[in-house]
């Protein structure tokens, strides 16, 4: 099937984005990607909404990448979806046996009948034939961008791991580091609610307006939702060029400009944070070298501090030239899961993550994005995100930090809460937190 192209105009792009988001409620499967006009991130599109599947690729770990590549061979068209962290099990001899109250598919992609793209105030509809966008445009124009409360009743957020248990587990992980098992590991914990009645579209709207992250993502698959305020890119392909931008190093923002600048400067100079970031950069370089032409892996930017709504983040940019005829799925698999959410060495770090964490990560620390008809792609890292089951009213927020030999467990715990701050502030209008 061919895809038609129609251009529209709208006087208020921000309003249009909200109208598209709420218009998509009529469909059970949707992906929204929003760069929030963040200039640094080499983003090809400002906003994308894909909905109404024509074809779906859904798979568990052992056949996931094969299924994805088969779909790409069958149809040279857009695919939108995600890869869950637990696809690690088909790439290495690993397993996932921790608690899972969400039960998302481990890999999910779909070919949309209806695709809306916004770039530089240009509004484009890319519809599969015979579907036409004109009637939809009228419906979108009549869709309100304002809705009722996103949270119907108080949400009681609980910690899956108590602070005392967190400190004990981080101490145990540091003993592994002292023995030489690993150099660094990303250790995460879950905040959750078992009786959360939320309106996901409106809550995503509120989260996005507050944080304005460069890799925001909204995913709906029936009663399963992801609301992501991610600041991090996992992997992007443009032609034969690969780009990865791992984040390691976090500091709090402050209202006082002098204090805020000092915090950023301290982060930039921190030997601990730079060491953590550099270790992950080396891991990314190693992953990329598996599918890159010899000598092409380069660090374009090392340990640069960028500002976001609630935190300063230390970001590096690693690039490489992809080997000719490398399949899309092989390029993604070579770098997955991302080093910033695992550790070094990667396989041993993932074994310890499974041993010490108490919740299956699932889509958290996975990746959401798209693959275009040419095979180019762009995926985020699923962090700073809510995962939600509407049918069970289970709401999950996972946060983590990198542990090294020099880490202070108390400060790492505080860093986890800092990373959750933006999401929790949106929830806080009707929220109780039980530590």
Q: Is 336 left (phi over 0), alpha (psi -120 to 50) or beta?
A: beta
Lowest mean pLDDT of 1-5, 97-101, 241-245, 392-396, name the range. 1-5
One-letter-per-residue 3-state SS of 152-172: CCCEEEEECCCHHHHHHHHHH
Lowest mean pLDDT of 30-44, 229-243, 319-333, 345-359, name the range. 30-44
**Residue 393 is a catalytic residue:** no
Lowest mean pLDDT of 151-165, 170-184, 283-297, name the range. 151-165
One-letter-per-residue 3-state SS of 214-253: CEEEEEEECCEEEEEEECCEEEEEECCEEEEECEEEEEEC
Residue 310 pLDDT level (bands cut at 50, 70, 90): confident
**Residue 153 is a catalytic residue:** no
Give me the pLDDT at residue 375, please: 96
Q: One of 224, 248, 346, 419 is an active-site residue; which one?
A: 248
Is residue 364 within 8 A of residue 342, CB to CB? The reply is no
Q: How far is CA 7 from the centre of its chain?
A: 29
Cα–Cα distance, 378 to 80 (Å, whole number): 10
CATH placement of domain 3-434: 3.60.120.10
Does the pLDDT of residue 132 top 50, yes or no? yes
Q: One of 106, 232, 276, 357 is an active-site residue; which one?
A: 232
Residue 435 pLDDT level (bands cut at 50, 70, 90): very low
Prediction pTM value: 0.95
Nearest to 82 by CA among 102, 98, 104: 104
Domain boundaries, given as residue ranges, for the chain? 3-434
Does the pLDDT of residue 392 top 60, yes or no? yes
Does the pLDDT of residue 163 top 90, yes or no? yes
Does the pLDDT of residue 263 top 80, yes or no? yes
What is the average pLDDT score of the chain?
94
Q: Average the pLDDT over 51-62 and give the result.
A: 90
DSSP, collapsed to helix, strand or coil, labels residue 365 as: coil
Q: How far is CA 365 from the centre of its chain?
A: 7
Residue 227 pLDDT level (bands cut at 50, 70, 90): very high
């Amino acid at each position: 099937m061919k895809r038609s192209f129609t251009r529209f105009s709208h006087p208020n792009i921000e309003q249009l984005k909200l109208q598209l988001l709420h218009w998509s409620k009529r469909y059970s499967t949707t992906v929204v990607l929003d760069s929030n006009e963040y200039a640094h991130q080499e983003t090809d599109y400002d906003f994308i909404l894909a909905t109404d599947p024509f074809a779906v690729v859904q798979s568990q770990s052992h056949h996931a990448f094969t299924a994805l590549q088969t779909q790409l061979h069958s149809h040279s068209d857009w695919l939108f979806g995600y890869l869950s962290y637990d696809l690690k099990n088909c790439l290495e001899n690993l397993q996932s046996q921790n608690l899972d109250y969400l039960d998302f598919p481990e890999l999910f992609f779909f070919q949309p009948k209806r695709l809306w793209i916004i770039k530089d105030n240009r509004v484009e509809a890319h519809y599969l034939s015979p579907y036409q966008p004109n009637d939809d445009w009228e419906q979108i124009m009549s869709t309100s961008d304002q809705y009722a409360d996103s949270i119907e009743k108080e949400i009681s957020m609980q910690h899956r791991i108590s602070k005392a248990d967190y400190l004990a587990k981080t101490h145990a992980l540091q003993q592994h580091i002292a023995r030489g098992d690993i150099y660094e590991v990303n250790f995460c914990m879950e905040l959750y609610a078992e009786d959360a009645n939320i309106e996901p579209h409106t809550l995503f709207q509120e989260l996005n307006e507050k944080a304005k992250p460069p890799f925001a993502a909204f995913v709906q698959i029936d009663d399963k939702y992801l609301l992501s305020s991610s600041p991090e890119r996992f992997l992007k392909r443009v032609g034969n060029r690969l780009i990865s931008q791992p984040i390691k190093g976090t500091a709090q923002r402050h209202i006082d400009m002098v204090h805020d600048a000092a915090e950023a400067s301290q982060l930039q100079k921190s030997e601990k944070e730079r060491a953590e970031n550099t270790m992950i950069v080396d891991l990314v370089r190693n992953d990329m070298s598996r599918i890159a032409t010899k000598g092409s892996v380069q660090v374009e930017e090392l340990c640069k501090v960028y500002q976001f709504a609630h935190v300063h983040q230390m970001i590096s940019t690693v690039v490489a030239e992809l080997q000719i005829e490398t399949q899309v799925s092989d390029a993604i698999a070579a770098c997955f899961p991302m080093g910033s959410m695992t550790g070094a060495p990667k396989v041993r770090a993932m074994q310890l993550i499974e041993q010490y964490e108490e919740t299956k990560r699932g889509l958290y620390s996975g990746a959401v994005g798209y693959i275009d008809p040419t095979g180019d792609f762009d995926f985020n890292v699923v962090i700073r995100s809510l995962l939600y089951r509407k049918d069970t009213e289970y709401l999950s927020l996972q946060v983590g930090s990198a542990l090294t030999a020099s880490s202070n467990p108390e400060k790492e715990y505080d860093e986890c809460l800092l990373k959750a701050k933006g999401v929790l502030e949106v929830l806080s209008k009707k929220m109780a937190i039980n530590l």
